[in-house]
Amino acid sequence: MAEERTHGSSVAVASAGAPPTVKSIFIYPIKSCKGISVSKAPLSPTGFVWDRHWVVINSKGRGYTQRVEPKLALVQVELPLEAFSFGWEPNNSSYLVVRAPGMAELKVSLAKPDLRSDGVSVWEWSGSALDEGDEAAKWFTDFLGKPSRLVRFNEESETRPTDPHYATGFNVKFPDAFPYLLISEVPTIDQEDATIGSEPRKTMMKFRSAEALEVNTATTKYKGQPYLGQMLVCEDHKTNKGKIVSVGDIIEVEKVFPSYADVAV
C-alpha cells in the first residue's frame, strides 16, 4: 500500500549487512502531532499502547492531519513514563501534557471525560468520540487559528475496522488506516519547523513509485505517489497481551518477493 503521510506509529528499521533490527519506535498519542520516542512499546489489539488515541478536529468534526495543518508538527506531547508499562492504569493525577511554541502548557487528564462529540470523522470513518473539554479546545483553537477541539477515541461504543481489502478482523483508533507502519523516515514535512519540501519525495518517486515497483496503477488509488513504507497488522492481535516490541529486536524475514506486484494482499 502506498504511503505518503508524515508519520505513523512507526517502527524504523536498520540493516547494513547484518540481520535487520528495530532502530527506533515512535508513538503518536495525538494524531499528526509530534511522536514520543520510546525504547519499548507494549502491543494492544489496535496497535501500540497509547498510539493515536486522540485527534484534533475542526468545526465540522473532521480530523486534522499535517497534510492540511502542518503546524501540528510543532505540538509536543508527553505521557508518564510508566504509561508504557504493562498493566498501568491512569489515576486522577495522570496527564497528557501538550506544548507548542508560544503556548502555555496544556494538561489533559487521562481519566476519561464525560463529554461527547458526535459526527467525528477520520477519512472514511465517522462516529462519536470523547470530548476533552473547552480548555483543550481553546488551546488548539488559539494555536491553529481556527475553531478546533481535542477528542479521544471512544472504544466503549465505537469500532473502526481496517480496510477489508487488505486485512480483515482488525481494528484501529485514529491512525490513517492500519495499526503499524514500518518505515525509514518521514518524507515531506520537516518535524522541527513544520516547513514543507519536495525532498526526499521527489527522489523517491524514481524508485518507489507505483510504476517503479510494478504495481498495477489501473487498480490502485496511489498512482503518482511514492511508497514510503509498509503498513502492518499483528496476526496475534487478539492474544498479544504481554507482548512488546523493543529497540534492538531482530526482524526475521520469512519470505522475499521479487516485486511489489507479487505480494498477495
Q: What is the pLDDT of residues 136-150, one digit of tens each?
A: 999 999 999 999 999
Percent of the chain with pLDDT over 70: 81
**Alpha-helical runs (H) found in 126-263:** 134-144, 201-204
pLDDT band at 222 (very low <50, low <70, confident <90, very high): low
Would you give the DSSP letter of residue 29? S
Measured at the CA of 54, the angle between CA 116 and CA 143, to 5 degrees, comes to 95
Determine the average pLDDT of the residues in 188-208. 75
Is the pTM above the cut of 0.95? Answer: no
Average pLDDT, the chain: 84
Going by C-alpha positions, the residue among 212, 186, 234, 166 that lies closest to residue 72 is 186
Kindly give the pairing relationship between strand 106-109 and strand 116-122. unpaired
List pLDDT tens digits, range 161-179: 998 888 899 999 999 989 9
Percent of the chain with pLDDT over 90: 54
Coarse DSSP helix, strand, coil percentages of the chain, rounded to the nearest 5 percent: 10, 30, 60
Task: Specify the pLDDT at position 4.
Answer: 31
Going by C-alpha positions, the residue among 232, 230, 251, 260 that lies closest to residue 47 is 232
Kindly give the pairing relationship between strand 106-109 and strand 244-246. unpaired
pLDDT over threshold 90, residue 29: yes
Q: 32-41, 45-54, 97-106, 236-245: lowest mean pLDDT where?
A: 236-245
